[in-house]
Amino acid sequence: MAITNLTQDNFKTVIESNPFVVIDFWAQWCEPCLMFSNTFKNAASKHPDVMFCMLDTETNAEIAAYFNIEQIPCVLAIKNQIVIDGIVGVMPSQSFEESLQQWRDFDTTEINRHFAEQVA
């Protein structure tokens, strides 16, 4: 699956319309970000059921600030519109694959139940 570039214009729609989103917060000047980009792109090609996205923190600083992104590269995993994990720094391919599996296995049932009760 192709990687989606997130912006202010499409962020909300992408998060709300995909059950599992992984976002790479990066910047063009960040060498570790550029090093990690190949790992991220390779993982995206192996996991078509996951929405892989990249967000340039320079051009979308408001979104990065909303998520308190202070160091990059930073990857956030979002399931059912809930941020379930975040990792800062370059990850080897194997570590990233292990994180993807843990995120895939993460059950949001209790979190969803909690918020449903708050609304009721």
Domains and CATH numbers, the chain: 4-119 (3.40.30.10)
Phi-psi region of 9 (alpha: psi -120 to 50; beta: other; left: phi over 0): alpha
Among 35, 4, 28, residue whose Cα is nearest residue 18: 4
pLDDT of residue 103: 96
Q: What is the pLDDT along the chain (120 residues), one digit of tens a residue?
A: 689 999 999 999 999 999 999 999 999 999 999 999 999 999 999 999 999 999 999 999 999 999 999 999 999 999 999 999 999 999 999 999 999 999 999 998 888 888 888 877
* Cβ 47 vs Cβ 69: under 8 Å: no
- Number of helices (H), then strands (E), belonging to the chain: the values are 5, 5
